[in-house]
Structure 1
């Protein structure tokens, strides 16, 4: 019985890696402007936008359903990576004991490559893997 898993996805982004990382790190409140059909709102619950350990609340839509995800964020500026550890959530944490997503962006030509890695532990075996959260192209276009 395997309850733990890891999923990965990559997508080319038409933005320099440093710019993309800066927006995701310190200006996540602008993400709804980039992808309003998916992300409706991002707010700081504790800390501030770009401080390691801050807690943010994301309101978004996946598969036509509204969800809320409360995360504790950790930043790795050298790797241009942000790790989001689930603290509370309307759907994802109802099906997972643990849920951690890491976004990493690396330079690639005139743009960059965004990689999302999800590491999770399901509450029970018959819960589906959280594949729907890997749709990076839906989040950014």
Structure 2
């Protein structure tokens, strides 16, 4: 019974001005994300595979609550038709606190822009570990920056 309290899922929806395809592509091929939010994401480097393909591995360097952290993620699923993707954390600072950590996003076309649905699925190492609200805040604000970056004149 106590085990279930270690597992969680945080979700957020963001309305964006960028078209769904453009937004999905930006996250599949994430090398431009540091240009969109340089004060939050310092680098995204492809370690293995090709951008936007299942099994590819990227290393993200970012600031969370002002501290630099690294996260190594494997692309677990990409659906270009439905504009969704899932990343599994396979290394880095976040695994000091979480046994598992997944990041999923789906971009839904809406009027002139899109609706971006983000989900963080995780399992804490113990009950002392807080929910990853600061990570959700970082992802949310970074996605808003990417939207601004993609839609600026």
> Structure 2 length normalisation: TM-score?
0.87
Q: Pick from 71, 91, 100 the counterpart of residue 88 of structure 1.
A: 91
1:35 Cα offset (Å): 0.9
RMSD: 1.1
TM-score between the two structures when normalised by the length of structure 1: 0.94
The match for 1:70 is 72
Any unmatched runs of 5+ in structure 2? Answer: 146-153
Q: Which residue of 2 aligns with 1:52?
A: 54
For residues 72-122 of structure 1, give each alpha carbon's deviation from its aligned partner in whole angstroms, at most 9, with x where no partner exists: 0121222211111000011x1110000001011111111111111011100
Q: CA deviation at 1:36?
A: 0.8
Q: 1:137 to 1:3 in 2, by over 3 A?
A: closer
The answer for the alignment partner of 1:130 in structure 2 is 132
Q: Kindly provide the CA deviation profile for residues 29-74 of structure 1, in whole angstroms up to 9, marking residues without a partner as x.
A: 0001111111110011110112211000000111111110100012
Q: Find the counterpart in structure 2 of residue 42 from structure 1.
A: 44
- Structure 1 distance, partners of 2:52, 2:103, is 17
- 5+ unaligned residues in a row in structure 1: which ranges? none
